[in-house]
A = this chain, B = another copy of it.
Amino acid sequence: MKTEILRLLRESDSFVSGQQLCEQFQVSRTAVWKVIKQLQEEGYQIEAVRNKGYRITGSPDVMTEEELTSLLDTRWAGKHISYFDTTDSTNNQAKAMGDAGAPHGTLVVADRQDAGKGRRGRVWSTPPGGSIAMSILLRPDIEPSKAPMLTLVMAMAVAEGISQTEKLDAGIKWPNDIVLSKKKVCGILTEMSTEITCINHVVIGAGINVNLTEFPEEIAKTATSLRIEKGEVIKRSELIAAIMKRFEYRYEQFMQTEDLSLMQEDYHSILLNREKKVRILSPKEEYDGVALGINEKGELLVRRENGSVEEIFSGEVSVRGIYGYV
């Protein structure tokens, strides 16, 4: 009921009468009042005027299951939400839910991760209140070898969600770092459970620096947050809803062709490495080149100094900008 009341208040331009809420949910005025009270305690600014009813005048940065649900405008992405104040890692939660049979599109969100994961077992720190830790569970009927492309799909969705809701110029450092002012604002970790030739489930986690105002010294030069860039507090739930909307769109594009060809152009338009010098650090060799863009499989095309073009598979190598982080 809380979710529904919240949605009604949001969707209404004026006051919603207590009577109306009582009738709609078949509950007493006291019950309605209790819900309003809870919402206010969670930080919503709700005006209560005798003979008029309730009106929402402000929702700060509230991240709850109800808030998320009331904001989501998707068909399947995030239609099932599990919200945690604290969890070990949203990817771990989503994987466990995947093993237990949770449906395609299940979204796990946490305010705080105490064992957040970066790639290859690295730590991704998520202090409370300042970040988004979110993971979506997917069950695509594709070959396991195609799943790595979904990392780029999520990168695209996060960049677009940030650009749309915050009017910030989010770019991508191939394959999947989201970058503002040449600093990293989001990391993405894709994991999957497979049989030999089919996928049980894929989990894509995104950790976004939202309202953080400072960073540990070792990453201070390469990390930023949306709040720092925009100069104001960001509403995380709105951002998550926007990302889910974009993700659903981009995922469906991906599934049409089972590759990135339909979003290749848009990806290029925000790909910061494009036409930039890059240094490729692979287990075998190290060389400089110019990043041309991605092919339809999401591999980075790099023109070496001898003119040949390499196709670089995501994650196999480290790509560094020769000047600065990007």
A contact set with B: CB distance below 8 Å: 92, 95-96, 99, 119-120, 144-145, 147-148, 151, 189-198, 200, 313-316
Contact = CB atoms under 8 A, between A and B. Distances in A.
Nearest to A313: B197
Contacts of A92: 99
A195 B200 contact: no
A194 B202 CA distance: 9
A120 B195 contact: yes
A191 B191 contact: no
B315 A195 contact: yes
Given A191-B193, A191-B200, 20 more contacts: A92-B99, A95-B99, A95-B193, A96-B96, A96-B99, A120-B198, A147-B196, A148-B196, A151-B196, A190-B195, A190-B196, A191-B194, A191-B195, A192-B193, A192-B194, A194-B194, A195-B315, A196-B314, A197-B313, A197-B315
A193 B189 CA distance: 13
Nearest to A117: B195
17 contacts: A92-B99, A95-B193, A96-B99, A99-B99, A119-B196, A120-B195, A145-B145, A189-B195, A190-B195, A191-B195, A192-B193, A193-B193, A195-B315, A196-B314, A196-B315, A197-B313, A197-B315
A96 B92 CA distance: 10
A161 B65 CA distance: 52
Among A119, A190, A195, A196, the one with the most B-chain Cβ atoms within 10 Å of its Cβ is A196
Among A92, A151, A193, find the residue whose CB has the most chain B CB atoms closer than 10 A.
Answer: A193
A115 to B, nearest CB: 11
A52 B8 CA distance: 77
A306 to B, nearest CB: 26
